[in-house]
Every structure is written in structure tokens, then in C-alpha cells.
Amino acid sequence: MNTQVAIIGAGPAGLLLSHLLHLKGIASVVLESRTRADIESTIRAGVLEQGTMDVLNEAGVGARMRSEGALHHGIELAFGGQRHRIDLSDLTGRAITVYAQHEVIKDLVAARFAADGQILFEVNDVSVHDVDSESPSVRFTHGGEPQQLNADFVIGCDGFHGISRPSIPDQLRRDYQRIYPFGWFGILVESDPSSEELIYAQHARGFALVSTRSPKVQRLYFQCDPKDDVNNWSDDRIWSELHARLENSDGWKLKEGRIFQKNIIGMRSFVSTPMQHGRLFLAGDAAHIVPPTGAKGMNLAVADVRLLSMALEEFYKKGRPDSLAAYTETALKRVWRAEHFSWWMTSMFHKFDDASPFQQELQRAELEYVVSSRAAATALAENYVGLPFA
């Protein structure tokens, strides 16, 4: 098989890149180890920055996002028994949309098949070869048969545990990582929304978050031991913990419902550089991970593939490799800004068991400053809605 761009991974990054390239007249093939049903049913967070919303709309895949997603103009910060609203639109002129990642994937898969795009599901034994030449290839097994995909470029969008990043030699790669001493216990609940906007809560018992997935499905989180077991938490214990961390004296009450999913999410910050080697390029979780507090994961992936699509267009249409050569440097500017914001949000809201009383007071002072200073609130807001693309 031959194509111009081989893409490993059919998550949001790989699928969106394939579609953006299609719109520019550049051929691609997407390889995915899972089934279509699997990628379209894996429920994950979906807070979309303004820039991500714009990219999806410009690519012609934003119709369902606009009709079914929830456009949010603010978020609430809860601490000290009170809630404080950060008006994102007033402070920045921009907003966010809550629209689950698996719904984005459904839209992109539909768009690729409507355009006769090639997505090969259930591929195994994937490996990349000759990426330091002008004729790289990807070898894999599909339908029990060994195959080879020859391409001009290989793009690794296969996540943190994929094969793409390890394909860059260890001696050429530098990884930066921080593992946090806590995780998030997440539940999916059948209920009406408890809040029109997301609530980020700092509490002596630990962080909590009120989010949503659809008008009838809510997503709630609370800080936990990452080594805990979901079987240790009955529904009653979960609701008791959430009520304690989220409710105060203003009369607001968390709405309960049937819990139909429980999971524990580990927390890490991770960046691998360079994000390219020869004709192999990394995008999204293959190159960087952020803790979910800043809602940046999928948005960074979209920013990466937007850069790659423009750089590849420049290469094919104008014969210029400059933007491809500068991809790592350009992408990492946004990545490190998002890493800092996500670390800052995580540090400001979570309980650290080793924090001294002095450090706890600093944490509270930071929160009070953010909600009392327009300048500080604007800094939070402009990072949360996403900095404009260059």
C-alpha cells in the first residue's frame, strides 16, 4: 500500500489530521488497533477550547457539536464555603463547549468515511521503519495478513502507550515527567445537571469537580488515592463524599442519580522532545500528557495536528520543508504553556498530604486573589478558553 501520510492511531488527533489533510488534497491512511465500536464508545472528557471549536467548524465537522454540545460562558470556583464565577466570555470574548471526546470521534469517523477516507481498524504488530530516510514505512498485520504501508511521512497519534514515541531512539529523546500523589475518582451519573457550568471545588477533604456529558448524563470527580480500588466505594459512600466537598450554606444541592460507571484516573504531567525524528512526527498524547484539571488534553492534540496539516500543505504545495522542520519548536511553545496552566490549576485546587499549614494558607491566598482580581481572573480565563492560534 502507498499513501502520502501514514497516521497511526484513530483518536481525535489522527482522525482530525486525516480529515484536514483531505481538505487540502493530501492523501492519508489511518491505522487503528481497536474496533470502530471501541473508539466511538470510550467515554472521555470533552471540554473544547474556542480554537478547537473553530477548527472543527472550519473542517465541516462541527454541526453536532453546535447542536448537542453545551456552550459555556463561565466556570465556578468553590472554596471556603462559597462559589465564585469566572466569566470567561466577559474576560476574554471567548467561550468553551462541553462535548464528549467520543462524540468528536464519531463525527470525524463519519466525515472520513463520507469522503472515502481509509481507516483500517483492528491492526496489530505495528512498527515503523526507515523514518530517517525519504521513504518511511509502517508494517502491520490486518485481517491476519502482514502488510506494509509506504508513505512520505509517518505521524504518530497513538497515545502515551503507543509505538510511535519509542520509535525515536532513546539517545535522541528527552522525557520530562511529574507523577502526582493523587488521582481522580470519576463517576458517570444518570441525572439532570446539578449546575449550568463546571464547578471546581477546593476542600479540606480534597478536590471535586462537577461536569456534564449530556443533558441527562453528568460526570463528577473527586480527589482520591490513585492506588485505591473502585470496589471500596459504594454508591452511598461516593455521594456522601461529593456532598461534603461540594455543598455549602447557600442552599445549592448536588443532584443524585444512578451511577453507571466508576473509574480512577491517575494524574501526571509529561512532555517528550523532540516531537519529530526524520519523517516521523508525534502529536497529542504520544508526545505530551497534562493532568485533566486544566482541560487541555484533546485541545493540545488539535493544536498539534493543525500545525502539522499546515506544514504538510506547505511541503506539498510549495515544496517548503521549513514549517515541518520547526514543528517541535512551534508546538512545544503551546504545550509548555498548557503544562504550566494545568500544573497551576492542579496545585491550586488539590489537597497535598505533605503540605504544611503555611503552604495551605498560600493555596487559599492564591484562590482568593484569582476571584478578587480582574487581572488574575483574566489570566485564568484566557488560558482556560485557550490562547488564540498564531
Which CATH number is correct for 5-72+96-176+268-348, 3.30.70.141, 2.70.180.20, 3.50.50.60, 3.40.720.10?
A: 3.50.50.60
> Residue type for 389, please?
F
- Write out the CATH class of domain 180-267+353-384: alpha beta
> Which of 155, 131, 108, 180 has its CA nearest to residue 345?
180
Pairing of strands 208-214, 137-142: unpaired
β-bridge mates for residue 175, sequence order: 272
CB 317 within 8 A of CB 190: no
Give dist(CA 212, CA 194) in Å, integer: 9
Give dist(CA 106, CA 254) in Å, integer: 31
User: What residues contact residue 199 under an 8 Å CB cut-off, 6+ apart?
Assistant: 75, 76, 77, 78, 83, 208, 209, 210, 246
β-bridge mates for residue 82, sequence order: 79
What are the pLDDT tens digits along the chain (390 aa)? 999 999 999 999 999 999 999 999 999 999 999 999 999 987 777 899 999 999 999 999 999 999 999 999 999 999 999 999 999 999 999 999 999 999 999 999 999 999 999 999 999 999 999 999 999 999 999 999 999 999 999 999 999 999 999 999 999 999 999 999 999 999 999 999 999 999 999 999 999 999 988 888 899 999 999 999 999 999 999 999 999 999 987 888 999 999 999 999 999 999 999 999 999 999 999 999 999 999 999 999 999 999 999 999 999 999 999 999 999 999 999 999 999 999 999 999 999 999 999 999 999 999 999 999 999 999 999 999 999 997
Active site residues: 72, 200, 292, 296, 384
- Indicate the helix (H) or strand (E) that contains 110: helix 101-114
- Indicate the helix (H) or strand (E) that contains 384: helix 374-384
Report H helices in 119-171: none
Give dist(CA 340, CA 363) in Å, integer: 16
pTM of this prediction?
A: 0.95
Domains of the chain, residue spans: 5-72+96-176+268-348, 180-267+353-384
DSSP 8-state assignment for residue 196: S
